[in-house]
Structure 1
Amino acid sequence: MMVRTIAVLACAFLFSPPALAAAAAPPIADFFGNPEFSGAELSPSGKYLAVRVGARDKRDRLAVVTLDDGKVQVVGNFSDADIGQFEWVNDERLVFTATDRSVGQGDARYAPGLYAINRDGGKFRQLVSRSGQPFITVGTGGISPRELLPWNTYLLGQRGGQDSEFVYVVYASYTRGQIDYIDLQRLNTLTGNHTSFKRPGDTMHWLLDNNGEPRLTITEEKGVNTLYYRDPAKNQEWRPLTHYNTYTGGQDAFSPLAFGPDGTLYVVSNAHKDKSAVHTYNLATGALSDKPLISLEGYDFSGRLIMNKDKLLGIRHLTDAQGTTWIDAGMKAMQERIDELLPNTINLLTPPLRPEAPWVLVHAYSDLFPMRTMLYNSATKKLTVVGGSHPNIQAPQMAHQKLVHYKARDGLEIPAWLTVPQGAGKNLPMVVLVHGGPYVRGKSWGWDAQVQFLASRGYAVLEPEFRGSTGFGSQHFRAGWKQWGLKMQDDLADGTRWAAAQGIADAKRVCIAGASYGGYATLMGLVKDPDLYQCGIDWAGVTDINLLYDGHWNFTSDLPDGWKQYGMPSLVGDQVKDAEQLKATSPLLQAARIKQPLLLAYGGADERVPLPHGTKFYNAVKQGNPNVEWIEYEEEGHGWELPKNRIDFWGRVEKFLDKNIGAAR
């Protein structure tokens, strides 16, 4: 049976308490290889399971398992590509896209195509052109290129009604690399015919209701978002509900979350408080509910509603870790049963839309190992392992992660994630790992390849959720506006000093590291706090804020013009009003002050932080610093897509750290 053959380890071993750590550190490839199992989705009835599986040096394939007898049917595979996204159209039919995990961003083609096929392998049809040309792999069934939708057509990524042969796709209109608007289309997966929906303006986001009908859209114009409702009581005409600043929000801002089966609109709003919560929204009066459906102490709401075709079952949410609050008594009891079977993990249950079988999908994880996918049979009360992304990772060799808090110098409380190697003592060499964004949440509790790799090599890892990070309330987020290189940087230094004062870190063996904004903060840390950091590792890091604005004639940036015009002046810094501040907080202009050993790595095809950020800085810093290592991965973009490059990079990181703060020091 497919479910049993995919399973690599028994449940009792996977989820039992860790034993003593093995002496040998796990190989780098165990952390940074491509996942061998990377997706599963139950059909609407719950009778069938679609899975994306791969193996080393083989293309990812799409298979369907008939769960009552274990029959397996491979329905999607390419000779020249991997399976990308996939989803059920209905209980008989699936759609999927193509991707290529063997190339970096520089060689990638952002035209994944779209294909449909029945779960028994019948009625195959290509629907969207891939890479700007008709089907590459044999098996088109005589489809004419003229019948295909254009390459810039993509899956919407929302579950429709799953009760017909239709899915929703979006057509992205581009001008000079910038998105003008996103059109919504209803696509027949059997015939390829499609219809578009009337747009009230330059639409950027769409939301379907629980029956799969378009109900909300958000337009963007000159830094202002307007939320429109498609009103069934008024001939399906669009009417505006609210508008607000695209980047800074406002008192009338809220984020639509989902429509319930009864048509109730659920939204996420601060409701004039520091933390956002889930409220209902009255479409007739335009009022939020006084009492939230759910609020999370200490956190903004982040998550989704779990529904079947008839009712709201529960709410998936993120605090320190992911969790679920069940409204449905049956699902709550099932959660308790599964938690008894798997006491050492976070267990996330996903029921089918219209259950006609006893199967429920379970994703289980902890800080000690990556996500595992399982099936729970509500009739037999048994669990079966389906697969895991990194099966060679052994929990006894991993390190526990915990959420800590420390005070910044101005009194603001900073959350941070601390990972300490198993069995380690005090005064450890430590890496301060800075998240990118920066206006995002950096981390939640769980297994992370980069962190666990560093811990497996003997390093403590501190990951601060510095001011400006989202998820911890409006005050925490707004405190980071225009604080690049200033108070945001102080938060990192204060965390480093806290870890040393606690006896966690050896104050003379600390390295700062990060990518994107984290790379910027790494460089500014070496500039501003040379006494704290013995070395720095910057990959794909911003080296000058003005470069983000202006760029250069010989490279392309994918930062939206709207972000540069309406977002960056408020959140990062205004080029005119804050000109002196941007100079003072430019690593490029301060490069001569960096004397510590430095490892720099950039992608030749990076369009978010283009290569000149790295080359200009490298040319400047090496004039006064002989201890600078430079790596360029020509085919990579804003991060490393290829396993060979991830393995190469982290191998260099291991040697660099060992030389400067590790055992070889």
Structure 2
Amino acid sequence: MKLFARLLAPLALASVPFLAHAAPTVPLEYYGDLPAIQDAVLSPSGAQTALLATIDGERVIRVLRADGTPVTQLRVGEAKIRSIEWIGEEAILLLRTETDRTRLGLGRGKYEWLRANVIPLRADRQPVSVFANQSFMANAVLGFHGIREVGGRWKGYFGGLRMGRSSGERAKILHYAPGLFEVDLQSGDVRQIAQPPANGIWRDWLVGKDGNIAVTFERNSDSGDWTIANGNGNTIASGRQRSGYIDPIGLGATGETVIYSVYDDDGEGAQRFEVPLSGGESAPVWQDTYIDQFFHQPFTGHIIGILNDNGAAKLADTAMQSRIEAALNSPSGGVTELNAWTADLSAFLLRTSGKYDSGTWYRFTAGDGQRAIIGLERPAIQGPVIGDVRTFQYKAADGLEMEAVLTLPPGKAAKNLPVIMLPHGGPTAHDEPGFDWWAQAFAAHGYAVMQPNFRGSTGYGAAFRDAGNGEWGRKMQSDISDGLRALADAGIADPDRACIVGASYGGYAALAGVTLQNGLYRCAVSVNGVSDLPLLARDAVQGSSNVVERNFDTLMGKETDLSALSPARNADRADAPVLLIHGKDDTVVPFEHAASMEDALKDAGKPVKLVSLADEDHWLSQAETRKQMLSAAMVFVRKHNPAD
């Protein structure tokens, strides 16, 4: 029920210059603020909405009645909250992460640990920290498998690690793969309901409506052999997927089947199947369909339908389908997302963003078709100060059709503009034509911002995604510069006034744009970016299974010279100033990437600056360091590529 996006029909880019009203200036730090609303969920009855919000700089959970009147407000401090879930009508499950050096015997590195806390709404109930006060459990959640009402009590299902000790020794983890545990979300009592797998086996579970294990998935991490077993332990499906792409999607609409996907190595993408829990043949389901969203029924996990990439809902229950269609067809000016819904689909929470809309949350009631605003994400950034957002089509040099998201500066003609190329991270992700705080910040300062969905991006089918395999620093990189060329050919951008900026994989692309490529950009800004592919391979593959190694070989190309595609190992080729910004607590792309790149550029006598973000992770989860990043990037870009 969480934040799945629907891409609206692309807008044709007009050949005439776009003109807007002169826009007032918004302080830069407003763009770096955390959203006033980050998440929103409906209680089981739909009578209450819980908002994860930031009010006057303080993180809170705000609970509203269906009519929008407040029930209560709970302070949650500086926690890095990833999502919230209702537990019945009287408590909230808060899922958050903490960056910490592990004391669990996993080495000396930093890890981003998931924690779970129960926040009761009633004063006579005590908060519960999942696993935290259990001497036999590590204080870490390794997988969340849903909430169920069992025997009149709300239970949560979590992956966890058991601890034990020998005489005179400190407690240590007994097995480094998680088992499955049932947690009473009122008392905090823990009961193990499934054992961890043997070494070399990956295991996952689906929990039925009754709180029992309905399905167990297993995959051999070396051979790729996989099995699906029902609650009685009987195998109901099996096969081999050498790259490990077997995905347990969920139980079917009745709870009597399981739906799973297996990736087709012959280029057909994810193939989905449904098999009865009682056994029988696996039948194809939703084949040849790109799925934007699965509709899971709250508190059962049953999949009742899908939303395809054309924005069409497909449900077996026609009455439910009409309710979803009514919600999707409510007016919107850009991207509409269905974020949450009740079990009977009588009420929905929607989020929109796009033209003149920096993010608006609504409650939609299917019965009367009413849509009521429950809050704005960025109240200080509204209306004409928001740059126009549209899609832009172009062709790569080899003829492959491309699409980019283009954000134009408010109050300026779309002609001969300075430009920021802003490739996304992932790289298996994609940008959509909604409000993007980073793109809008640059647009507000006079830049056209192009976010190319280069080959390897999701959202355009399996063949397009797979076209990125083996293309880091190659065609994935030239797809970005081909977008710059097309934007210049359209008269929108001045190709001699371009910088390239990005985070994570986008940071790699930014660095590659001035090392592996030359003569294109006046500057490059890499935020938490990959700079050294051999280092990336070491961290990703060393000590891992054959499945992981095969995946990495597929992604990079089996015989690829990683050094030749590493910006840090080609620093002597840098032809523009480089700004490196990196979180000290980044556990996805370690700070070592920034430090190595800085050293290599300095050794080569190239201009470089490194800004380290204290106590910040890969996702820029904190407002102050996000603003620090934004300020440093803007000062650097304006120095080397002035907009006026």
TM-score interval, normalised by the smaller of the two chains: 0.7 to 0.9
Q: 1: CA distance between counterparts of 2:526 and 2:596?
A: 14
Aligned pair partner of 2:351 in 354, 357, 363: 363
- Change in 2 beyond 3 A, CA 1:222/1:294: closer
1:567 aligns with 2:562: no
Q: 2: CA distance between counterparts of 1:110 and 1:437?
A: 20
* Greater Cα offset, 534-543 or 235-244: 235-244
1:187 aligns with 2:183: yes
Deviations 1:457-495 (A, max 9, x none): 221222222222234233323332222222222222222
Shift of 1:503: 1.7
- The correspondence of residues 257-336 of structure 1 with structure 2, limited to 5 A, is 257-268=250-261, 274=268, 276=270, 279-281=273-275, 284-289=279-284, 292-293=285-286, 295-296=288-289, 300-307=290-297, 314-318=305-309, 324-325=313-314, 328-334=317-323
Shift of 1:171: 0.7
Shift of 1:430: 1.2
Q: 2: CA distance between counterparts of 1:80 and 1:602?
A: 20
Aligned to 2:526, what secondary structure does the other structure show? strand
Q: Which runs of 5+ in 2 are unaligned?
A: 1-17, 100-108, 164-170
Shift of 1:446: 1.8
- The correspondence of residues 619-630 of structure 1 with structure 2, limited to 5 A, is 619-625=599-605, 627-630=607-610
Q: 1: CA distance between counterparts of 2:325 and 2:577?
A: 51
Q: 2: CA distance between counterparts of 1:198 and 1:411?
A: 52
Report if the CA contact (8 A) 1:266-1:281 is conserved.
yes
Letter in structure 2 aligned against 1:26: V
Letter in structure 1 aligned against 2:182: R
Letter in structure 1 aligned against 2:553: P
Deviations 1:431-461 (A, max 9, x none): 11122222x1222232211112122222122
Aligned pair partner of 1:88 in 77, 86, 89: 86
- Change in 2 beyond 3 A, CA 1:185/1:377: same
Q: 2: CA distance between counterparts of 1:150 and 1:263?
A: 34
Shift of 1:394: 0.6
Report if the CA contact (8 A) 2:112-2:587 is conserved.
no
Aligned to 1:538, what secondary structure does the other structure show? strand
Q: 2: CA distance between counterparts of 1:564 and 1:380?
A: 51
Shift of 1:40: 2.2
Q: 2: CA distance between counterparts of 1:505 and 1:178?
A: 59
Aligned to 1:414: 402
Aligned pair partner of 1:124 in 120, 123, 126: 126
Deviations 1:560-616 (A, max 9, x none): 834763432332255xx44xx223222222211113122221222323322232222
- Change in 2 beyond 3 A, CA 1:172/1:521: farther
- The correspondence of residues 240-639 of structure 1 with structure 2, limited to 5 A, is 241-246=238-243, 249=245, 256-268=249-261, 274=268, 276=270, 279-281=273-275, 284-289=279-284, 292-293=285-286, 295-296=288-289, 300-307=290-297, 314-318=305-309, 324-325=313-314, 328-334=317-323, 342-345=331-334, 346=336, 348=338, 350-353=340-343, 359-366=347-354, 368-378=356-366, 381-422=369-410, 423-438=412-427, 440-550=428-538, 561-562=544-545, 565-574=549-558, 577-578=559-560, 581-625=561-605, 627-639=607-619
1:110 aligns with 2:106: no
Letter in structure 2 aligned against 1:54: T
Q: 1: CA distance between counterparts of 2:451 and 2:543?
A: 28
* Greater Cα offset, 323-332 or 626-635: 323-332
Tell me the C-alpha RMSD between the 2 structures.
3.8
- Change in 2 beyond 3 A, CA 1:151/1:311: closer
- Change in 2 beyond 3 A, CA 1:646/1:108: farther
Aligned to 1:442, what secondary structure does the other structure show? coil
Shift of 1:222: 3.2
Deviations 1:486-526 (A, max 9, x none): 22222222222222222222111111121222222222221
Q: 2: CA distance between counterparts of 1:504 and 1:20?
A: 15
Report if the CA contact (8 A) 1:82-1:100 is conserved.
yes
Q: 1: CA distance between counterparts of 2:174 and 2:194?
A: 22
Shift of 1:281: 4.0
- Change in 2 beyond 3 A, CA 1:339/1:35: same
Letter in structure 1 aligned against 2:87: V
Aligned to 1:134: none
Report if the CA contact (8 A) 2:498-2:641 is conserved.
yes
Report if the CA contact (8 A) 1:606-1:637 is conserved.
yes
Aligned to 2:214: 215
- Change in 2 beyond 3 A, CA 1:498/1:255: farther
Letter in structure 2 aligned against 1:288: A
Report if the CA contact (8 A) 1:73-1:120 is conserved.
no
Report if the CA contact (8 A) 1:275-1:472 is conserved.
no
TM-score (norm 2): 0.81
Q: 2: CA distance between counterparts of 1:73 and 1:516?
A: 38
1:641 aligns with 2:631: no
- Change in 2 beyond 3 A, CA 1:325/1:625: farther
Letter in structure 2 aligned against 1:205: D
Q: Which runs of 5+ in 1 are unaligned?
A: 1-17, 131-144, 552-556
- Change in 2 beyond 3 A, CA 1:472/1:375: closer
* Greater Cα offset, 341-350 or 596-605: 341-350
Decide which structure has greater strand share.
Answer: 2
- Change in 2 beyond 3 A, CA 1:370/1:215: farther
Q: 2: CA distance between counterparts of 1:181 and 1:384?
A: 45
Q: 2: CA distance between counterparts of 1:153 and 1:347?
A: 28
Q: 1: CA distance between counterparts of 2:344 and 2:399?
A: 51
- Change in 2 beyond 3 A, CA 1:558/1:92: farther
TM-score (norm 1): 0.79
- Change in 2 beyond 3 A, CA 1:217/1:407: farther
Shift of 1:151: 0.7
Q: 1: CA distance between counterparts of 2:339 and 2:602?
A: 52
Q: 2: CA distance between counterparts of 1:480 and 1:379?
A: 45
Aligned to 1:153, what secondary structure does the other structure show? coil
Aligned to 2:418, what secondary structure does the other structure show? strand
- Change in 2 beyond 3 A, CA 1:94/1:409: closer
Aligned length: 601
Aligned to 1:25, what secondary structure does the other structure show? coil
- Change in 2 beyond 3 A, CA 1:87/1:331: same
Shift of 1:107: 9.8
Q: 2: CA distance between counterparts of 1:351 and 1:255?
A: 22
Q: 1: CA distance between counterparts of 2:355 and 2:273?
A: 31
